[in-house]
Structures are given as C-alpha cells and as structure tokens.
Amino acid sequence: MLRPQGLFQQQRPRGAPGAFGPQGQYAQPGQYPPPPPPPQAPPPPQYPPQGQYGPPPSWPGPPGSMQTQRMPGMSDTTPRGLPPAPGGGGGGLRMPGGGRRLIPVLIAGAMAVVVVVGVVIVLQSLKGGTSSPPTAAPTSTPKTSAAPVSKQDQQKAATQLAGLLSQSGNDRGAVIDAVVDVENCGKSLAQDEQTLTRAASNRNILLTKLGNLPDRSSLPASMMSALTGAWQASAQADTDLAKWATDEAGGCHKKTVQNDPNYKASLGPDSQATNDKQSFVAQWNPIATRYGLKTYQWEQL
C-alpha cells in the first residue's frame, strides 16, 4: 500500500545518503544510454507456390496474429465440440496450429466410412452367395413346316388303306360266334379256341402291312395312330379269349364261365379297341368320301 508522501516521513537533508538529486529519483534524460529496441518478429515462413496447406494465406494484422483464410462454407465461430484456439481472437480454423487438430478427426471419419462400406459389401456378398449363376435361356429350334401334301399321293395311300380295312372285318363274325359258344359252354369249344387264335394272328398281319403302307405320311398321323392302336388292342383281346376257350374246354360251367382270369383280362383291350376304332372312322370317312372310297362304322372293323 502506498503511503502519501510526507506522512510519517522525515525530511532528509539534501546530499544525505538516500537523498535524490534535483531531478528526483531518476536521473536526468541522457544520463543513461537509451534502451534497446524491441525484438523484431521473425519473417513468415516461405513455402512453395502451393504452400504448406494450399495457396499461400494472407496474414492480416501485426506479426504473431497469423490467422488463416477460412475455408469455403466455414463460419467465423469455433466448431462445436472443438476447444477455441489458444490466444483468443476471432473464430475459425487456424492454420497451421489449429488445422493439425482437425486432421485426426477427418482421418477417423474417413476410416469409419470405409468400415461401413466394407460391412455393407460383405453383407451383400453373403446374401447373394447362395444364388446360382444365371443360366442361359434354351434356344428354341425353329420348326420346319411340313411339306404340302399332294392330293394325288393322299388318294393313292387312302386307296391302299381301304384294301386293308376290307380285310379287317373278315374275322369279326367268326369271333362273335366263338365267344357266344364259349359263354354257353357249347360243343365247339376246341374249334372256338382255333377261331380266336386265327383272328389274333390276322390282326398282327394287318399291323405289319399297315406299317409298310406306301405314302402313309400323306394321311393324317392321328388317324393312322388310332387304327394302329385299334388293331393292336383287338389282337390282344382275341389272344386272351382264345386262352379262355381253352380253359372252359376242360370243364365249362355257365354260372362261373365269366369268372375265368383270361376272360377278365380280355375286357381292357376290347374296350381300348372300341375307342380307337371310333376315333379312326371319324377321321377316315371324310377322306373316303372325298376319293369315292367305302366308309365304315366302328363295329365293322
């Protein structure tokens, strides 16, 4: 605490020890050499044309107050969550000292982005890992159109087929008589077996001739398939009936005659033959009418 001059102080005579000269406690001007000038601030660092952190920044203000230029989009305030730069002053990122603190943050953010992208890629690969590679669509083979059927070839084939059809009904009457005789346990059971066996053989002969019919490709394929199926089924039915006649020849009983296994076996082929014959005549009769040939009912074949 400074005491007021003169209060509780004794006056010292001039020239006594501790007394000051006429100029007071401090010497007169010029008595001592002038103080040295203040130290000059070192010149700013020199960088290449691009500078240490980009283009050389301008340093407004006195030396020592180096403020960096603000990056585009940066505000004057210190970013939230970052401590203010030492020395106070205006906000903003300071270079080079303050910028060094931001670099680790940017590196950490970039690494986090890389990790997230890597996780997403791994998950996508796991999801699609079990998927099979796409298979190439099968190429469809262009269908070649059938050659136009010659009317002359079709008429020739139909005429030859009409000759086979006329032979088909030759055994029908004999087959019906043999079946009735066996059902009644008649006296001609041995002859009935021969009749049915011969009918089955004749059907097989017709099938061979049908397969070798010239120009058969000029006739409808579905019609030819129906006739083939009809004659195959008829041959099988006649074979089963012949075996039935043989069984009954050893001891026939009217009440049990239709319980024979061979008779039951003939029922399926006989029904199939009827269906195929009906399909055939439905296609044959229009062709026969066109070329003046004989038409048929299914039971005539």
The string of DSSP letters for 181-201 reads: HHHTT-S-HHHHHHHHHHHHH
CA distances from 75 to 53, 88, 126, 153, 208 (A): 19, 16, 44, 99, 103
pLDDT tens, residue by residue, 81-126:
444 444 444 444 444 555 556 666 677 777 777 777 776 776 776 6
CB 178 within 8 A of CB 196: yes
Which residue, 208, 119, 210, 115, is CA-closest to 161? 210
d(CA 168, CA 294): 13
Residue by residue, pLDDT tens for the chain (301 residues) are 444 444 444 444 444 444 444 444 444 444 455 666 666 666 655 555 554 445 544 545 454 444 444 444 444 444 454 444 444 444 444 445 555 566 666 777 777 777 777 767 767 766 655 445 455 555 555 555 556 678 899 999 999 999 999 998 889 899 999 999 999 999 999 999 999 999 999 999 999 999 999 989 999 999 999 999 999 999 999 999 999 999 999 889 999 999 999 999 999 999 999 999 999 999 999 999 999 999 999 999 9
Helix (H) or strand (E) holding 231: helix 221-249
